[in-house]
Each structure stands twice: as structure tokens, then as C-alpha cells.
Amino acid sequence: QAVVTQEPSLTVSPGGTVTLTCGSSTGVVTSGHYPYWFQQKPGQAPRTLIYDTSNKHSWTPARFSGSLLGGKAALTLSGAQPEDEAEYYCLLYYSGARVFGGGTKLTVL
């Protein structure tokens, strides 16, 4: 089974910009992996921010965007807010199965 890798932790200043990445042990991440991004705060269920690389749900703040960058999927947060401090997970698709990354703990400080 493929392994999906994320940065264990990142820190961003309020109002700053940060990019989280999602890599695959099988090689380059493409749109065919249909990358998803989730936000999870303590004690809450995950909330989907991005699906299929760059599509947003109605509740996804405009400051979040998804893309493919340097062979990986990427989630960029532009103008970080204190409420963006959370765990972020990516999810990739492999021929019928999906695999989560290990998560990135984002601190806004």
C-alpha cells in the first residue's frame, strides 16, 4: 500500500502564508490521485476543505486553496487566522482505495 507523507508540523504567523504538502511513495502526485484536504480541531470530526485537487466546499474559507506543486498536492493558507490552528490531513486515491497522510499540525503563532 502506498504511503502518503505530510510535514509533521508547521508554524505560521497571523496574517502570514503557509503551504502544506502531500507526497506519495509511488511518485508524482497528479490530478488522478484526486487530492483531498481536511481540517480537524480537537474533539471534532474532520471537515473537508478541498476535494479533487482544488475544488472548495461552500464552507471553505477563501484563504484556503489547493493545487499541485513540485510533484505533490499542496494546500496554501493565505492570511492565516488564529482559528486556522488545527491538524490538517490529505487523502489520495489509488485505483479504488484511498490513503490518508499522517497529518500536519499547524500552529498559528
CB of 10 closer than 8 Å to CB of 18: yes
Measured from the CB atom, is 30 or 40 closer to another protein?
40
Q: Is 8 in the site for another protein (CB under 8 A)?
A: no
Give least dist CB 38 to another protein, A: 7
Q: Is 62 in the site for another protein (CB under 8 A)?
A: no
Q: Is 73 in the site for another protein (CB under 8 A)?
A: no
User: Measured between alpha carbons, how far is residue 97 from residues 1, 2, 35, 81, 87 in Å?
Assistant: 9, 10, 13, 34, 23
Q: Is 45 in the site for another protein (CB under 8 A)?
A: yes
Rounded to 5 degrees, φ, ψ at 97 are -110, 160
CB of 41 closer than 8 Å to CB of 25: no
Q: Is 51 in the site for another protein (CB under 8 A)?
A: yes
Binding site for another protein (CB under 8 A): 1, 36, 38, 40, 45-48, 51-52, 57, 89, 91, 96-103
